[in-house]
Amino acid sequence: MLIHQTNNANRIVVKVGSSTLTYGTGLIHLRRFERLVKVLSDLRNAGKEIVLVSSGAVSAGAAVLGLGHHPETTEEKQATAAVGQSELMRMYSEEFSKFGHTVAQILLTKDVIDTPVRRANAESTFKTLLSMHCIPIVNENDSVSFEELNFGGNDTLSAYVALICSADLLINMSDIDGFYDADPRSNPRAKRIPELDRVDESVYAMAGGAGTRRGTGGMIAKLKAAQIAEQAHIPMMIVNGVDPDILYDIVEGKPCGTIIYNREA
Ligand code: GLU
């Protein structure tokens, strides 16, 4: 049996996408949301340091505003995210508090990552929050960030968060079981690849296109995220977020999804 050694990871960045957090209706998948918060709380209780990168601001905003559709234009998405981000944090704060945990909201834009002084400041904020036993919950500052809605999305964001937190492991929870050698949505013979050393051209060649409309990710974005995490040799896992209990398997070192090791060459 393969042992991923993910059981040694202490500081873990978990990215959860809109397609995992919401139903096809665009409304929050409450059962999954509650379970995710409970499992993360339990891992925190076990001594793990957890940073959550959560999408869902646009979806939550659309629900609060009763839009009845996922916003299309950038202006509409940014306004909807402003409404939804606070709703999302209210829900996280309420749910985590049931288990005695305190959350902290961090909204990032790409220029924070690209500007050394601002990046160093963000690094120390994360460090301080973790030392205070908080669970930082991160999203892109969608309402003021035009890059977010056009390229990259939270897959990319989560990789940068893993870098600035010096994470031991990045877990990307999505609506797909892992990385496949062909697109499993169109090719029934596609096989999941349990482990990859790193992402290179041959891996890109196997990747399919974008996923569902409710998320901005898709496999290419996840592979790019893995390459960002490779800068600091942080392993990244791509797993299905349908059952948040998969996080227990990961911390117990059981193989699941796809792990991209990103080890030093
Ligand atoms: N930041 C966006 C949101 O919270 C989603 C971006 C993404 O899923 O990549 O709705």
At residue 251 the predicted structure's pLDDT band, cuts being 50, 70 and 90, is very high
Q: In the chain, which residue ranges form alpha helices assigned H by DSSP? A: 18-21, 30-45, 57-65, 74-97, 110-114, 116-131, 153-164, 201-206, 219-230, 246-251
Instruction: Say what the pLDDT of residue 25 is.
Output: 86
Instruction: For residues 40-51, give the mean pLDDT.
Output: 98
**pLDDT confidence of residue 3:** 46
CA of residue 239 to ligand 1 center, whole Å: 18
* 165-194 tens-digit pLDDT: 999 999 999 999 999 998 888 888 989 999
The CB of 139 under 6 Å from ligand 1? The reply is: yes
- Determine the pLDDT at residue 74: 87
By residue count, the chain amounts to 265
Q: Kindly report, residue by residue over 196-239, the tens digit of the pLDDT.
A: 999 999 998 888 544 444 445 588 899 999 999 999 999 999 99
Tell whether the model's pLDDT for residue 147 goes beyond 70.
no
Residue 208 has a pLDDT of 55
- Which amino acid would we find at residue 186? S
| Mean pLDDT confidence for 115-141 | 97
Ligand 1 binding pocket mutation candidate from 52, 58, 70, 107 (most atoms within 8 A of CB) = 58
The Å distance, Cα 94 to ligand 1 centre, comes to: 21
Which of 77, 86, 142 to mutate to test ligand 1, by most ligand atoms within 8 A of the CB atom? 142
- State which ligand 1 atom lies nearest to the alpha carbon of 221: 9
Quickly state the pLDDT bin for 264 (edges 50, 70, 90): confident
- Confirm if 63 and 86 have CB atoms less than 8 A apart: no
Q: What pLDDT, on a 0 to 100 scale, did the predictor assign at position 4?
A: 53
Confidence band for 7, pLDDT divided at 50, 70 and 90: confident
Ligand 1: which of 14, 15, 18 to mutate, judged by most atoms within 8 Å of the beta carbon?
18
Residue 11 confidence (pLDDT): 98
What value, to the nearest 5°, has the Cα angle with vertex 244 and ends 100 and 71? 95
pLDDT, mean of residues 255-260: 96
pLDDT at position 209: 47
Range with the lowest mean pLDDT among 43-52, 106-115, 222-231, 253-262? 106-115
